[in-house]
Structure 1
Amino acid sequence: MQGPDHAGLTQCRLAAPPRTQDHRGETVVPDFPEDLKYTTEHEWVREGNESTVRIGVTDYAAEQLGDIVFVSLPAVGDEVTAGDACGELESTKSVSDIFSPVSGVISAINDQLDDSPESVNADPYGDGWLFEVDTADGTDLDSLLDADAYADHVESPT
């Protein structure tokens, strides 16, 4: 996907402590569902059937980024490596890399984000999912955080 010109926007990695107010000044409590796995780069992973996992960004990440206006995702069939950047989220404040939490082959992307990138903010664990990966053996999942460990990471990033 080709995105708009990124001139003037800054690249960022999220590592700030959680805010009690969102970018609109409203009080928020980050949501970290217990049935997901998490990365320190603020992606979530939902295990699917057999070796397929669904990936998105956390409520915390979406809130820190602000209003998402463009999403650049890998293509179906692309190989991704755990920990490597494979896409971008552009908000009104910055551009942030999307890091693949697992290695494998992209099996699906959420093409609804082309027309509705704001779904990442509105429903990060539902309609705002990003892509699915077919993993070879699922061993990358063992290194991911559970909800409690991710909440601890967000509260005191190092």
Structure 2
Amino acid sequence: MEFLIIKDTLNNDGRLAIGGELFVYENFGRVPVESVSAGDICAIGETIADKVSGTALPTIKIEEPTVRMSFSINTSPFVGKEGKFVTSRNLRDRLYRELERNLAMKVEDGETADTFLVSGRGTLHLTILIENMRREGYEFMIGPPKVINKTVNGKLLEPYEVCTHALPREPKQFNV
């Protein structure tokens, strides 16, 4: 099966790709489709190759999560006032369903049946998930973000981000 991968649907500029079948996620399973549009996840792996040489393109490395937060059911006296999904089953199903689309996130069961440890690429990554869930009607509590450290060759490593600032040439007083 050959696919035309289109960058811009207005100009129809694209390239040809060869594949077995094309699937998208629907409900909790994969469904075969004839075409996909922008935003659909359809393939990730080593089988995407250059048409001329046939060599596989480099794999996409998804970076490890750097921050972890605990999500648990709302136990305050005001439970059920802000949302309609308040049980741990609802929370669990939603978090594990998010894993199908959000490749940089990880979810683990917590110490109790109603707590889940959610790891992501940063506080903004997790904040977007929290806000989307709130808008969908989920009601839950979150714990403070905790940095995920790892030990390599006996050394404790912390995550960091590289940032570049473009500053004007004329001297001014400001904080970066």
TM range (shorter): under 0.3
Task: Give TM-score, length-normalised by structure 2.
Answer: 0.23
Task: Give TM-score, length-normalised by structure 1.
Answer: 0.24
Higher-RCO chain (CA-CA 8 Å, sequence separation at least 6): 1
